[in-house]
Amino acid sequence: MKSCCCEIGDSKDCTSVCKECSNTGKPVMEITLKSMVKKPVLEAIGNPEGFYCCETPTCEVVYFNNEQQVYLHKQDVKVRVGIKETENPVPVCYCFGWTQKKIFDQVMQQGHSTAVREISAKIKAGECACEIKNPSGRCCLGSVNKVVKRGLKLYGNK
């Protein structure tokens, strides 16, 4: 049996726990949900408010809402969710089209990646649209940094 915080009577926290993996999700904005979820699925959901995003790589759930008892999976979402994919393409930055492969290829060829610098410059220029392009609705720089670091570890010069 999976443990649930409901059992200890904390119903507030429970709304943010993904029932399929028991991990806590992150709140997702209505605008993100509306632009990420496939139209027929979205129409079937009455109210796009109060959803959470499950970020467990092995969990098939992308968005969930325990109050409405709605669970949306990878196939309900328009884009590939990078964090839940292990085969190419694994999207990392949705606004400017960076994939894990593109970053790894750069590291292999040049010994470093320009991803963070290029993305930061575009964010400064106000060109990013994470809230409607990234399934998490948040800025991708954190995950880009992680992928670059992983790339350096795997393919960089030691």
Closer by beta carbon to Zn ion, 21 or else 95: 21
- Round to whole Å and give the CA distance between 108 and 117: 17
- What dihedral do alpha carbons 131, 70, 86, 83 form, nearest 10°? 30
Closer by beta carbon to Zn ion, 25 or else 151: 25
Q: Report, in Å, the least distance between residue 128 CB and Zn ion.
A: 26
Cα–chain center distance at 2: 24
Q: Report, in Å, the least distance between residue 32 CB and Zn ion.
A: 17
Whether 82 contacts 100, CB under 8 Å = yes
Selected from 20, 30, 105, 118, the binder of Zn ion by CB under 5 A is 20
Selected from 54, 72, 107, 144, the binder of Zn ion by CB under 5 A is 54
Whether 31 contacts 132, CB under 8 Å = yes
Binding site for Zn ion (CB under 5 A): 18, 20-21, 54, 56, 59, 61
